[in-house]
Structures are given as structure tokens and as C-alpha cells.
Amino acid sequence: MSQQGYVAAPPYSQAQPGMGGYQGGYGDGSAQPLYGHYGGPPQAFAAPPAGMMKSPVSSAAGMPPPPASNQYNPNVQQNGAHPQRYPAPPAASAYGQPLQSPYNSMASMAPPPAQQLTNQMSSMNLGNYGPMQSPPPATSSVAQQPFQTSLPAGMGQPQMPPGPQSPHMSPPQSPLASMPMAGQQMAGPPMAGQQMAGPQMAGQQMAGMGRPFPGPPPSGPGGFQQPGPGGFQQPGYPQQAGQFGGLMTGPQPGMPGGFPGAPGGLAGPPQKKLDPDSIPSITQVIEDDQVKRGGQVYSTNVRGQVPPLVTTDFTVQDQGNASPRFMRCTTYSLPCTADLAKQCQVPLACIIKPFANLPKNETPLYVVNHGETGPIRCNRCKAYMCPYMQFIDGGRRYQCGFCNCVNEVPVFYFQHLDHMGRRADFYERPELSLGSYEFVATLDYCKNNKPPNPPAYVFMIDVSYNNIKSGLVKLICDELKTLLENLPSEEGMESSAIKVGFVTYNKVLHFYNVKSALAQPQMMVVSDTAEMFVPLLDGFLVNYQDSRAVIYNLLDQIPDMFADTNESETVFVPVIQAGVEAFKAAECSGKLFIFQSSMPTAEAPGKLKNRDDKKLVNTDKEKTLFQPQKGVYEQLSKECVAQGCCVDLFLFPSQYMDIATMADVPSHTGGSVYKYNNFQVETDGEHFLRDLRKDVQKSIGFDAIMRVRTSTGFRATEFFGAVHMNNTTDIEMAAVDCNNALTVEFKHDDTLSEETGALMQCALLYTTINGQRRLRVHNLSLNCSLQLSELYKSCETDSLINFFAKSACRAMLNQPLKNVREILVNQTAHMLACYRKNCASPSAASQLILPDAMKVFPVYMNSLMKTAPMVGSTELSTDDRAHQRLLIMGMGVEDTRLLLYPRLTPLHNMDVSTETVPAPLRCSEERLTDAGMFLLENGHSMFLWLGQAIPPDLIQSIFNLPSLAHLHGHVCALPELDNPLSNKVRSIINGLIEERPHSMKLHIVRQKDKPEMVFRQFLVEDKGLHGGASYMDFLCYVHREIRQLLT
Amino acid sequence: MASYQEFIQQNEDRDGVRFSWNLWPSSRLEATRLVVPVSCLFTPLKERPDLPPVQYEPVLCSRANCKAVLNPLCQVDFRAKIWACNFCFQRNPFPPSYAGISDVNQPAELMPQFSTIEYIVQRAPTAPLIFLYVVDTCLEEEDLQALKESLQMSLSLLPPNALVGLITFGRMVQVHELSCEGIAKSYVFRGTKDLSSKQIQELLGLTKPAASGQQGRPLAPEDAAASCRFLQPVHRVDMNLTDLLGELQRDPWPVPQGKRPLRSTGVALTVAVGLLEGTFPNTGARVMLFIGGPPTQGPGMVVGDELKNPIRSWHDIQKDNARHLKKATKYYEAMANRSAVNGHCIDIYACALDQTGLLEMKCLSNLTGGHIVMGDSFNTSLFKQTFQRVFSKDFNGDFRMAFGGVLEVKTSREVKVCGTIGPCVSLNSKSSCVSETEMGIGGTSQWKVCGLNPSTTLGIYFEVVNQHNAPVPQGGRGAVQFVTQYQHSSTQRRIRVTTIARNWADAQSQIQHIESSFDQEAAAVLMARLGVFRAESEEGPDVLRWLDRQLIRLCQKFGQFNKDDPTSFKLSESLSLYPQFMFHLRRSPFLQVFNNSPDESSYYRHHFVRQDLTQSLIMIQPILYSYSFHGPPEPVLLDSSSILPDRILLMDTFFQLVIYHGETIAQWRKAGYQEMAEYENFKQLLLAPLDDAQEILQTRFPMPRYVDTEHGGSQARFLLSKVNPSQTHNNIFAWGQEAGSPILTDDVSLQVFMDHLKKLAVSSST
């Protein structure tokens, strides 16, 4: 079912006549409720909403049905419909609407939006719930209009907020002024002292959260936190200290115990402005988790235990379940039935990073050898021996935990059981006691039953005019000499077993014979690009150590050989084909490093032409920009995967390159795509080389095939990642490295039992860089529960957002972006509404109540919709969008998290005497100060932002320049100055660059300079530069949606 | 009047022409009754040290469809400065440059002794010679090494300004760029993909951007030379190429057990032909293909790479079991024709113990006038010396090779030309001289012979078309003019014109004259060529039957006998040897495939249809010399009776040179008598045939296989299979002679053959 993808079938849109489609998503039993199932059968959406759904529908029906498409796009007409009531919406660009005002005006208006937001929210409240307080016009307008229109309207209406309400809105000014507002608010409820303990606590917390948005006016003062005692009865709830609780711990003492109804807050100083600190903060959540679980040992011995956040620094001890570094789930407690799953719409998924790097203090995987017969597997479901196999019958047989089949224990493997029913050798065998381990694979697991050869790395350099002129070719050739000395090798090996080969190309391909016996390398030109082949076997792929002299000679000559080239056309597909053919001939797998500067326009298979069309942006055809060209590229991916040929693409474009197509092969073969726009050796050289080094040296496995097995009752249905799938179960990857992550979605087949829980086993068959065939097995057990509250409690926001990001990025290939965004929002609302309905204590509808584990989910979601691929703006280059889309598809949890919420570190007031890195700030312009210096980084870009009023001594010590004005625009590295500040700043920057999977180029941005615009895109809590709501606006909108769902 | 013998010899020496009949029957009917057609063997570039070329251009008949060249047979009116064409009778004024012409001041072409004359075309552009080596690298290490050395050596033999190129192939085809410094660079082609000439030029980067505006027109040679990195003057790349050849490695692709190496001969040739086609059309060029085995992949493949499937044999071919034969032959034929059109010739040097696919590839050389050399290994003197001899020079120091020859035949109106048999292709030039009857390559009066050397000889067949009732005036003569345009190895364009005339004779009244004008040697070779030409397309027995019938008819026509009395049968002197030639021809490898592989047959036939008369006769009837103490060496009958214990025999079959020591001699030799001073004469005897053999070895191209054997030696088979089996195991006792050596064969002997022939000739029933 999922295969149908996000097909924007007409029924889907028809299903939302009243409510902009939300009930469709929320759908009844027959519907595919979860957004993640982009592919639900269209008719499902058309089905009549069931049961509880009905009420919202009917209420919706009562409203003027706006066209579904308007939902996020308040259009002029609607604004114009009430001109007198909503005079002049100044910065009316709401969600998804193209940016109307130029950047500068935006900036200058920075303060007002918050104000407007406040106002607008109050107006919303008024409109819906506060007839008594709100001025009539507001009431009528809001009541009659679905959210989308009211949002801009409200924003454009500064005077809207009625006086009386503002006090409610304002957060209580607690004594802990220095604390983030949110904390203070929270403080109120938890006041309860024992943090989560008290049931009402929870309610209050929720309320606190909810407060900024819809003040529940009816209840009078203090009403809007009105959780009401007992609102939250779920027993499990209190344990999730997570959110504000963690925060609480610190401030608690300072918090007055009182605040039962949080009236204090109400009583606070009459502030008009809603404090942005009052909404849930990612930085805070991260910090809390770090405080709570950081530095601890996380033992994986408990089923369904929620691991610390990805940002938290912890040590994993494998005790039967795979480390969260390998497998991380969206929730660690699955709903027992499909109905429940459908109801809550929380995607059930697992993000698997089979080759994840482990910190030094964690044990590498043990290798198990079961001898000639190969690993022991269940006869029926073929699951590998693992801790979930139950030994019975005195150890003579074992029952498979996945399919319950009873198997004989092979004679050589027999072992007696102890009184616990455990095998006596339990602790001696990794496959019985650990979550992750490796088996030595036998010949049965090898291609053609022959042991594999060590893999090969082939460097394929575009030597067309552009690359020669930019100096790139020389740069690469020089770098390769040292780089190849450091090819990865297996532990304990003296030198790498990896073979290397070299190809240069423009319109034709040049292969090089670098056999060690030769005095000079030999060049072989293949100009028949229509049917590619490798002209030589012996001497093409060589051991670097043996042929070093010849290779040196070659690398020295290449830049000169082509120095006076004027060939500007290139080919591309034949280059990859050549690699595949070479591997075929050598019977090995491996990786191609392709350095390409332009779109392949030469006459050859895979020739591309410019199909970039900005006119398609924001139309139903926009998706075609991201769809790869079919035909030869599709076929090529298959061939690559079949041969275990991974393709890494380094692009140096100066114009459109059709990355959607060019990156198609890398994205199906587990390869990476790097892009350096307008590459210049001086500014981008180092950045590129760092990427290259990282890429060459990272740990990697080749010719991989992976399968995810589950215990009965559910199964893996969807796979998102840089993989190729020939059928519905086998995940094929030409290579899998430490950064590749695959997101797997699960569906129910049957009812799961709370008792046995849910098991999954991910088995990855691959070839090591030494040419050994191995099987890597990761096992994970989850809880199952009939209680939705369990599920919400065990949710993992970072994983959830990874899932959503990937599924949205896939969906946008088949659906208009508008639909994708709509579905994202709807599902967000559904998940939260379901929580509210089923898990939260009854409370006023006006309250926004978020599950503790998901409280920062909206900010991520909002940010996701503002990412380049999703935002639909003509100002972004199609290639950049396509590139980012592909990047996201292969990302792991940490990467998506960081991408969606960059790290903003203040550097101007750090303590330079210690090693500690300053705590990151929320990504919002308000956090910047004129006299400050901030480092922002999202794993792909890095900015050093310098305030206008930055003290000159700071500039002096960092840049060795008298003042900011002396700074030239194109600095891309900090000078090495020997002063504490400079040292520390550089060490922070270098540390980050080291840590991230990709290298980052440092952009230095001065406040109010033009490049600042780029920087601002990354302040994800603010309104998007290319469209997209601010965090606050989004939260309001989601809240409104939730309320509509609930009524 | 000199005897016909002398006349014939004189004609051959002067004009390189041997006619089967030196008097021509005056009507078509009579001509057909003569059985052997009016035909000749013509050696266009026969070496004539006494014939310096003239430095001007020929004067042509002004009639558009004649264009015959002024010759000694033309009637000239010195006063009116007019000459009459002896072919079309057009009266032509002399060109202005001939203004001073008079009785006593005649240009050379009018003098009778210049019936053959050579002109140098002055204004034609000259282009350097081109040698493109196409080298198989799927060789054994020693073979490759030997080949490399031969090639390196050959560089020193080439004229310094000649262009040279190198293509190597195995599984892939590599075209080496010769101009580059530093890294050795080559363009590689997949060995399995057929490419058009245009594709090849594109892939090699030879096509200039279309902007040049001269699309479709080949590049002028100078441009091409500059742009072509693959063909460079020898003097410039000498060192480079020597190194390159030195570093040449065996094909690096592994050959699994039970497989043949993958050899992309077909594609390599296509690339070579395409490269030349694109860069130097209509310029003399020689593609030299060196192969050590059959093509095993791609277009033109002759046998698959599975060793378990042996290469086709005659048996397979007769059973229609040769899977690749037709396709491959067609492929190479098409390529040969392309190459011929561009005037490039293709040599094949095939050295392997097994067959290499010459059967399929023979047309490459046959149609373009290239050489085929077949040997066991590149590491033999046979190959090395033969190859060296390709670059031999004549008395002027010029290479004995010429390129791009076009032979045109013009005839007087009573005769028409039916066709030629030789290393040429038709140029499809229809003219009034062309007969409707085709013999050999017919239907045209012009043929292209891309590669020529002084011994290249074509068989040219004519038809007398004069009607029986329109007698030729008494004393009239039929004339034929051969015009050969070619590129001399000095890169000059030259034209050689040979004009000959023969008297007409009335076959009824002058049959004796005609009979005595019969050149039985030429006739035997010309008939043999017809037979070989037929054998290419017909079944062997059919050809033999045809030959037999022709022989019988000839004997009936000219023999003197009483009906049904075989013993009365007699042939005149001028025909007496003819039946014997036919007997040996029937047994020759040109018509018998038994005991020969298809490749060998192709090889033998290739040489047979291009060698001059003497060599051809040797091929038909090998020469046998006998050395003994009894006297000077003497030619003896090619008969088993010549094999005597106390003789040393030297047999020359053209392809083999066999020295056979009789039983006694062999024993003496074994005993070492030749080492003893007192048996100096024995030593001399032993050396005598060796010296003679050396002489032959020195001059013959290709160098014959040299066999030194003795009575009972296994190699003696070469001799035994050639001699007339007058004594076999069947009749040895009946003969009761102790001399000679019986041959174990069921073949009929000459005696039996003659008996049958007589019987049939005198029989009234046929």
C-alpha cells in the first residue's frame, strides 16, 4: 500500500472539503491514518470519518469551507475580504507564502512580529472561546474563518488584543528572572515539588505550555493554565520527567511551591509581549537530558527502554539490545493493535545506522565464527542466533523469538542450560548475550560462492577546462599522494588491502596503467562512451604501496597533461559504467570518487540538458524538478548495486547541474554527494579536502545486503535511505558507511502482546575493507502496550523527526509540496490531538498540551517545512534543494536533528580559561546581540556571525584586525593567533568540523551585511526567509488544528 | 623468323606478357574451339632496369570513350602532326609540345622497342608512404619478443619520411598515439563492437568540428598529417616507437583454462582501415597485420574462445558445420573492399601452429594486393627474413612495392576483355572493350591493384568477338593496351603503358600455325588460375571434372590420332607438356584440399594467383634436381623413380624447399665421411644442394619452408607427396625395377593418367 506513495490522487483532496483535509488524515478506521503512509489508498481518505471524527467534521462543515489549498497560504483575496477589520496586514507573509517584503524590511520589523503574534493569539482565543471578552469583529472573523485566514488577519491587527486578556498572556515574571521563561512557567506547576509526581502536575505543565497560545479566557484569570487537578491520570506519566521536569530540577528550589493554579503567572507584570522563552526550547531539552543522563552508562538490558537523546554524551553497554547508535526507534513502546497505531498516528519506525561509529570507550563488535556451516539460523524465518532465541528441552532445541518455530540445536553448538534456562555459555557467546555482533560469513553468503576480493577505490577526475582552470585537478592530485597513504585498513593490518585506480575524463575517458613494474604510467583513452568498457585489467587496480612510484609519477603528470585543454564537455554515465566494468572485471566491489564540474552534455548515454525551470516552483509540477531522469540512470543504479559499486560524487558546479539526476546513482548506492558551488581553491580547497579525507577514511562495508526481521505481529514495510530495493524485503547497498542511516517503518500484521513485546533483528551481510564477508546483526526489543500513554511516553522526538523528514523528502517526488506540508502539519496535529484526547487529563480546549517526550516536536517540524527542499521558493537554487533532499534521505538521527535545529553558540562571552563550550542558544534572531559573536552550525554550513557593535579587541584577537570594518568579505578561515580567545574559538570550530560527518566551510558574516541573509535562514525559530512560519506562529496554528480535531 | 620460344621469351622480357596463343583465331567460333581462351599473364610492374621512365605525360586519344595512349602501333603523319589511334581509329593532333616531331625525331613512345614505357606524372600531389602495424599481443612471450624485434628492425628499413602507426590488439584494440611525450597514450576500443569508419574517426578525435565547412570531403593529406597523432614520420618517432614496441606486453587479460585468448582481429582491422580511410584516402598505405591465432571475438570472429570447439576444417566446411565462416568472410570481404577503394593494401603475417583464420581473411590481401605470409612462429627465420624482404629494394634503391595501382585494358575492336584473375578488385568501369562473358573478375575494363610488386602478375582473359563471316583482313593485327597507373614507392605517380599486338590467323586454314603459337606454360598457368578461381566457389570434384574436360577437348582438337586407337595418339611439341602440367595441377594443393587445412589452401591459392609464370609453374609442377657423383646437378623427372639411394634431391615447390638425401648418402653422412679430408668430394656433394637452396631462399618471397631430410625421414613426405607415383605399393613388383622408391598412395600415376587421357581423346563417343 505504501508504494503508491503520496500520490496526489484527487480523492485525497476531495476528502477535505471542510477542513483543509485534516479529517482525511485523521481518518477513521478504514483510512490510513498516519501521514507517514504517504501511500495510503486514496479511497481511504474519502471514507467517511468515523466516530469521534465526526464532530470535528460537522463543526467544520459549519464554517465556510475554504479551499483546501488556502490552508497555509492566506491569499490576498482572503485578506482583502475583511479589509476594514484587518487593516493592512503589514508582514502578512504567513506560512508558505512567498516572501513579500525584502529582507531589510523584515529585519527592521523584527520586533513587531512577536508582538503581533501575541496579539494574534489572543485574538484567536477570543474568537473561539472568549465571546465575552473579545471585540466583536474579532469574534466574527475568527469564528467564521478557518485558521489559515485568521492567522494573517490576526497578525495584521495589532490592536486586536483586548486589554483584559493581555495579562493572561504574559508569562509570570518569576523571581528566577534569569531562567528561560519556559522554565518559569513550568515552574509553576511542577512547583508541585516532586516534579512530575502529582497528577495534576502534569496537567499544569501542559497548561503552562499551552498558555502562550490560546489563553483559555473563559475561566477567568489564571484560566489558561487551567489544567485542573487530576487532569492527568495516566500512571506512567509522572515518570517522564523529561521535559520541564528536568528543567525543574535546577530551578526548583527557587520556585515557590505555590502556584496551584498558576495564578502567579497571571498575576505577573502586565506584559504585552509573549515571551518566546515561554515556548518549549530545544536547547533546554537537550541540556536537561545531558544533565540528567549525560556521562552515564546506558545498559541495554531492559526491553523498551528509551535511550538518552542523541545529543547527550553517554556510554552504551550492550547487554542484549543494540546500542541506540545503531538502532533508534520513534517509540519504544509499540501499540499492541493496528487500531491503536492508527488512532495515534505516531509513525512506528526505526532508524538503523548499521555501521555507526562507536566512541572509543565502547567495545567494538565481537566477531562470531560458527564454522563451516555458517551462522545458526532459524529454519523457518531464517533469523540469526540471538538473545531472543529461547533454549528448551535441556538445550537441545531452541524456539525462535521471531516466528516461534522450534529448531534443533546443531550438535556442535549444544550446551547445557542452567537453572534459569539459560545456556551455560551465555556470557561466552556474543550472539547469546549481546544486541550487536558479527558473524563470519561462509562461501554460501558470497557472490558465486567465491570469497570476495578486497574492495577498490577508483578516483575519477574530470579534467575538463573548468576543473583545470580552477586548479582543482592539481589540488586533487597533490592530495591523493598523502591521502592514499591513509586508506582505511582492518585492525591489525599493516597496510590497507584496498586497491586503487585512476581515471581522468572529459568527453572521453582516460584509464591509467600504473602497474608497479612500469617505469611510466600508461594512458589508455576510451572514446567509445556509448558502450563503456575497461581497457585493461592488470595494472588498473593496484596496491598503492606497491605502485607508489608510478602513481606519484602519474599524479604529477596529470595536471600538466591537460594544462592546455579546452575541452569543456563532459560525460558522466560512462564514467560510472567504467567503474562498474572495472569492478566486474576485477571481481571486486568498491567505491568511485568522481570529481565533476559540470553537467554531462557530451554525446553519450546519460547526456543531460538544463531542465531547471523556476516557473514550476509552487506548482503541481514542482516535483518533476526533483525526480531523476529515468532510463539509463535507473539502470545504472541497478548495475552499480549488483556489482557493489558505490559512487561518491564531488560536484563543483558553476551553474545548474541537474543534481536530482546526477545524484541518483550515489543516492542508490550508499554514496555521498558533495557540492562546492563556484569552487575556488583558495576559499574552498581546504573544505573540500577535509570532506575528501573524511570520505576516504571513514569506515565502510561493501556489497551489502540488509534485511530487517521482526517478531510476529508486525513487519517492516517502508524503507527510506540511500539504498536500492529489488524486492520488498532485501535492502541492497553497494556500500554502507558509518554515516548511512536507513529509516524503516513498521506496520502491524496482527496484535502484539504486551508480554512478549516486539523484537527486531537487522542483519547486514557485507564485505569488509579487507575482503572478508561478514554478517552484522543488530537486535532490538521493544515494549508493546495497549495504553497510548505508554507510547507517547516512550516517543523519541529526534527519531520521529528523522522519519518525517525522510518520508516528506520522498513524498515530495510524487506529490505537490503543498500537500506534503499539509500532511505534515495534519499529522503533527493528529498525534498531538490524540495525546490530548487519550492521555492528557481533561482540560480546557484552549490549552495546548504536548506530550513530554514530544514537546519540541513542533519546532523541528516547523523547521523541516522551512528546509530548502520543502519551502518552495524561487530564490533557492533547484540544485541546492535537490541536494539537500538527497542528503536528508540518508541521514541519521543526529544529522537530521542538527540540520533542523542548528547549533548557535555565543562566543563573545565565554570563559576562555576552560575547555567547555558555551551552551548553545535558541535559533532566533532575538538571541543575537549587536556586540556579540556567534557560531552557527548545522552539520553542513557554519557561520561566524559578528555583531555590528562587536568590541574591536575581540576582532583584534580573532582576526588580528583593528576593527570589523577591516574585515574582508572572503575570509574563510581564522588566522592562527596565539591568544586564548583565538585558540578557543578555533578549537571549537575545528572540534565541530572534526565531529560532523561532513566538513563545513566557515562563512564569516557581519551583521547587516548582505550575506547575513543566508545566515538568517538558519535561525529556524524565526519566520522563514523564503516562507514558513515562525515557531510561535506554527505552534499557534498547530494548536488551532488540534482544537478543531478535538471538537 | 625466330622460333615461338624466342618470341615468347622476348615478349615476356620486354612487356611482361605471356599469351596463351600468340596467333589469334580470327572469329569467335574458332576461338571457342581452341578450348584454351585467348588470354595472357601480365606483370604490370615487371622490373625493367633498361627502361628509364620518361619525365612527361602520355598523349591520349581524344575520343572520350577511348583515351588510348599513343604507342608504336599508331599510324603517324609526321607532316600533318597527326596520329591515328590504333584502337578506335580516331585521328588526333599531337599536342603543342610535340611540334618538333619528325621521322627522325620521334618521341620514345613511338619507337617499337618502347612497346612498354613508363611515364612520371608531374603534377600529382605526392604523399609519403604509410605503414600501419596491427599487432596481435595474444602471443607467447618468445613469439612476441621476436615479433617486437622484427618490428623494431623494420623501422630502420622504412624511408625516413614514411608515416608509421601502431595498433595493438588482444581482447581490446589499442591505437597508440605516437606524438606524445611522457605518458604513453593509446586509444582503446572494445574488441566486440563493430564500428563504422565515421565512428572510428570520431572516437579517435580525428574529425574536425563541422565548422571547417568541407564536410564530407576528406582532409587534404597535409592537414591530416598534422592532425593525425597516430601516424607520424618515422624519423620523428623512431626512438619513441622503438621504446613503445619494446614495452609492448602480452595481452594482460587472463585466459582461463580451456579457453583461447580473446583476439579482436576484426575490430583491430576495422580500426586500422577506418583510421586510414579518414586520414589518407587514396594514398599508398600498407596495413601490416601480425597474428598469432584466429580471431575469437567480435565481428570477424572465426572460432569461439572455447578450446573444446576446434577451428573449422575442410570437413566442417563441406558439412556446412563452420558456424562463423560465412559471417566472418562477409565481414572481411566488406572491409577488403573498403580498403581497396581507398587504395590501401593489407598484409597478413600469420604465425601459429594451428590455423589463424586465413580462409576468412584471405580476401583482405587478395583484393588489396597485400601479402600473406604463413609460418609456425614469429621466432623463425622464415618469418623474420620474409618480413625483411617486404622492404627489399630494387636496383634504383626504391622499394619493390607500389601502391594504388589501376590497371586499364584497352582492346582493338575484334577482341574484348572478359576479366582478370589476380590480386585486384573491379573498378566497374564499363567500356566498349568489355565482354559480356565473364572470366575471373569481369564486367569491367579497369581493376584496382592496391599493392603491387614487380612480380605481381594478373591473368587476363579475352574473347574474340569477330564474327565468323566477317574475316579479319589479312595481315591485320589485334592489339591490346595495358595502362597501369600507380604510386611508385618514391611517392611519384607513374603510368606504365604496354601495348602489344598479335596477328590474326584463320583457324581453318592456319590451324598448324595457331597450334605452334601455343604457349603451353602460359596456358597451363592461365587454365590453372581459372580452375583455382572456380575452386573458391565450387566443389573440388566439379573443378577437376571441368579441367579434365578442357584437357580432353584440347587433345581432341590438336592431337593426332586414329579414332578409337589410343596408341596412335600424339601431341605436337608445343602441346606435349601440357597434359603433364594438368596432371600435377590436379594433384596440387590448389585444387586438392586433402591433407591441407582451409588456411593452407587459402595461402597456397593466394600466392598462386599472383606470382609470375615461372613461379606459378614451379607451384604446379615442382622442380626436382638431382645431385650425384656421376655428374653435375641435373633436373630430373618429378617421379618416384628419381628417388635413388645415391642421390641428393633438391625439390622446389615454391612453398617448400626440400633437400632429400638418398638412403646411401644419408648413411654416409651419418658415418661422418664428409668430415674426412679424403672425402672432400662427398662434402662438396653435400654442400652443393645447400648452396643452390640458399640461392633460391635468398630471392624467393615469401621465403619457402626449408626442409633438410633424408630417406625414411618424416619430412620426406614433402617430397613423396609431390612426385609422380610411378611406383607404388601396388605396382612395385610388377615393374620389377630396383631403382626408385615406391610411394604409398592410391593416386594414379602420370602414366595411368596419360593412358586414360589418350583413351578418352580418341574415343569417338565423346
How does DSSP assign A293-307, residue by residue? HTT-EEETTSTTPPP
Contact B172 A521 (CB under 8 A): no
**A512 contacts in chain B (CB < 8 Å):** 183
| B 158-177 near A (Cβ less than 8 A) | 172, 174, 177
Alpha-carbon torsion, ordered A216, A219, A221, A223, to 10 deg = -50
**A523 contacts in chain B (CB < 8 Å):** 183-186
- Distance, CA of B413 to CA of A903 (rounded, Å): 104
**A539 contacts in chain B (CB < 8 Å):** 252
**B202 contacts in chain A (CB < 8 Å):** 527
* B541-569: pLDDT as tens digits: 899 999 999 999 999 999 999 988 889 99
Chain A: residue nearest B190 by CA? A533
| Distance of residue B204 Cα from the nearest chain A Cα, in angstroms | 7
- Out of A523, A528, A560, the one facing B189 most closely (by C-beta) is A528
Using the Cβ of B185 and the Cβ atoms of chain A, whether some distance falls under 8 Å is answered with yes
Contact B187 A523 (CB under 8 A): no
Check whether B519 has a pLDDT greater than 50. Answer: yes
Using the Cβ of B210 and the Cβ atoms of chain A, whether some distance falls under 8 Å is answered with no
- Out of B174, B190, B199, the one facing A524 most closely (by C-beta) is B174
**B138 contacts in chain A (CB < 8 Å):** none
Backbone dihedral angles phi then psi of residue A421, each to the nearest 5 degrees: 80, 15
Q: What is the pLDDT of residue B18?
A: 95
Q: What is the pLDDT of residue B733?
A: 57
- Distance, CA of B505 to CA of A498 (rounded, Å): 89
Please say whether the beta carbons of A526 and A533 come within 8 A. Answer: yes
Please say whether the beta carbons of B246 and B152 come within 8 A. Answer: yes
Which residue blocks in B291-423 are alpha helix, DSSP H? Answer: 314-318, 325-341, 358-368, 381-390
Using the Cβ of B307 and the Cβ atoms of chain A, whether some distance falls under 8 Å is answered with no
- Distance, CA of B759 to CA of B762 (rounded, Å): 6
Q: Mutation test of the interface with chain B: which of A463, A512, A518, A527, choosing the one with the most B Cβ atoms within 10 A?
A: A527
- Distance, CA of B146 to CA of B386 (rounded, Å): 14
- Distance, CA of B462 to CA of B426 (rounded, Å): 16
* B697-717: pLDDT as tens digits: 988 989 999 999 998 889 999
DSSP collapsed to 3 states, A169-188: HCCCCCCCCCCCHHHHHHHC
* A891-934: pLDDT as tens digits: 999 999 999 999 999 998 888 888 888 889 999 888 899 889 99
Please say whether the beta carbons of B105 and B111 come within 8 A. Answer: no
**Helix axis angle, A147-155 relative to A1031-1046, nearest 10°?**
140
Using the Cβ of B468 and the Cβ atoms of chain A, whether some distance falls under 8 Å is answered with no
Confidence of residue A9 (pLDDT cuts 50, 70, 90): very low
**A554 contacts in chain B (CB < 8 Å):** 183
Chain A: residue nearest B180 by CA? A561
The contact set of A with B (CB < 8 A) is 508, 510-512, 518, 520-528, 531, 533, 535-539, 554, 557, 560-561
| Cβ neighbours for A523, distance < 8 A, ≥ 6 positions apart | A510, A511, A512, A513, A561, B183, B184, B185, B186
Question: ipTM of this model?
Answer: 0.84
Confidence of residue A566 (pLDDT cuts 50, 70, 90): confident
- Out of B172, B183, B203, the one facing A523 most closely (by C-beta) is B183
- Out of A512, A525, A557, the one facing B182 most closely (by C-beta) is A557
Backbone dihedral angles phi then psi of residue A787, each to the nearest 5 degrees: -95, 125
| Distance of residue A562 Cα from the nearest chain B Cα, in angstroms | 12
β-bridge mates for residue B42, sequence order: B17, B458
Q: Mutation test of the interface with chain A: which of B186, B189, B196, B244, choosing the one with the most A Cβ atoms within 10 A?
A: B186
Using the Cβ of B193 and the Cβ atoms of chain A, whether some distance falls under 8 Å is answered with yes
* B102-132: pLDDT as tens digits: 888 888 889 988 999 999 998 877 788 899 9
| Distance of residue A578 Cα from the nearest chain B Cα, in angstroms | 12
- Burial string for A583-615 (b: 16+ CB within 10 Å, else e) reads bbbbebbbbbbbbbbbbbbbebbbbbeeebeee
Average pLDDT, chain B: 89
Using the Cβ of B203 and the Cβ atoms of chain A, whether some distance falls under 8 Å is answered with yes
| Distance of residue A582 Cα from the nearest chain B Cα, in angstroms | 12
Residue in A594, A743, A580, A766 with CA at minimum distance from that of residue A671 = A594
How many residues belong to chain B? Answer: 766
Contact B188 A522 (CB under 8 A): no
Contact B188 A561 (CB under 8 A): no
Residue B495, C-alpha cell as written in the block: 603510368
- What's the whole-number mean pLDDT along residues A878-899? 92
Please say whether the beta carbons of A745 and A716 come within 8 A. Answer: yes
- Out of B186, B199, B202, the one facing A525 most closely (by C-beta) is B186
Q: What is the pLDDT of residue A227?
A: 37
Q: What is the pLDDT of residue B124?
A: 72
Confidence of residue A277 (pLDDT cuts 50, 70, 90): confident
Using the Cβ of B188 and the Cβ atoms of chain A, whether some distance falls under 8 Å is answered with yes
**A535 contacts in chain B (CB < 8 Å):** 172, 174, 188
Using the Cβ of B190 and the Cβ atoms of chain A, whether some distance falls under 8 Å is answered with yes
- Distance, CA of B386 to CA of A425 (rounded, Å): 80
Contact B189 A557 (CB under 8 A): no
**A567 contacts in chain B (CB < 8 Å):** none
Contact A527 B187 (CB under 8 A): yes
- Distance, CA of B432 to CA of B430 (rounded, Å): 7
Check whether A67 has a pLDDT greater than 90. Answer: no
**B172 contacts in chain A (CB < 8 Å):** 533, 535-536
Confidence of residue A1011 (pLDDT cuts 50, 70, 90): confident
Residue in B389, B392, B401, B325 with CA at minimum distance from that of residue B363 = B325
* B629-663: pLDDT as tens digits: 888 899 999 988 889 899 999 999 999 999 999 99
Long-range contacts of B707-711, Cβ-Cβ distance < 8 Å, separation of 24 or more: B707/B656, B707/B657, B707/B658, B707/B659, B708/B659, B709/B658, B709/B659, B709/B660, B709/B661, B710/B660, B710/B661, B710/B662, B710/B663, B710/B665, B710/B666, B710/B669, B711/B643, B711/B645, B711/B660, B711/B661, B711/B662, B711/B663, B711/B666, B711/B741
- Name the pTM for this structure: 0.79
**A560 contacts in chain B (CB < 8 Å):** 182
The secondary structure element, H or E, covering residue A557 is helix A548-561
* B727-742: pLDDT as tens digits: 777 765 554 455 567 7
Contact A525 B187 (CB under 8 A): yes
Contact A522 B252 (CB under 8 A): no
Using the Cβ of B184 and the Cβ atoms of chain A, whether some distance falls under 8 Å is answered with yes
Alpha-carbon torsion, ordered A375, A381, A386, A391, to 10 deg = -100
Contact B186 A523 (CB under 8 A): yes
* A146-190: pLDDT as tens digits: 333 333 333 434 344 343 443 344 343 433 333 333 333 333 333
Residue A169, C-alpha cell as written in the block: 498572556
Please say whether the beta carbons of B328 and B295 come within 8 A. Answer: yes
Confidence of residue B227 (pLDDT cuts 50, 70, 90): low
Q: How many CB pairs under 8 A join A and B?
A: 64
Q: What is the pLDDT of residue B692?
A: 92
Strands B130-136 and B163-169: parallel
- Out of A521, A528, A554, the one facing B193 most closely (by C-beta) is A528
Q: What is the pLDDT of residue A123?
A: 40
Considering only A17-21, A963-967, B50-54, B60-64, which range has the smallest mean pLDDT?
A17-21
Chain B: residue nearest A538 by CA? B252
**Helix axis angle, A857-866 relative to A1031-1046, nearest 10°?**
110
Neighbours of A20 (CB within 10 A): 26
| Distance of residue B241 Cα from the nearest chain A Cα, in angstroms | 14
Average pLDDT, chain A: 77
Chain A: residue nearest B206 by CA? A527
- Whether omega for the bond prior to residue B702 falls within 30 degrees of 0, making it cis, is yes
Check whether A705 has a pLDDT greater than 80. Answer: yes
- Distance, CA of A674 to CA of A472 (rounded, Å): 14
- Out of A523, A527, A538, the one facing B185 most closely (by C-beta) is A523
* B173-197: pLDDT as tens digits: 999 998 767 788 999 998 998 989 8
**B278 contacts in chain A (CB < 8 Å):** none
DSSP collapsed to 3 states, A950-975: CCHHHHHHHHCCCCHHHCCCCCCCCC
If one compares B58 and A846, the residue with the highest pLDDT of the two is B58
Neighbours of A765 (CB within 10 A): 20
- Distance, CA of B389 to CA of B101 (rounded, Å): 44
| Distance of residue A511 Cα from the nearest chain B Cα, in angstroms | 10
Please say whether the beta carbons of A413 and A431 come within 8 A. Answer: no
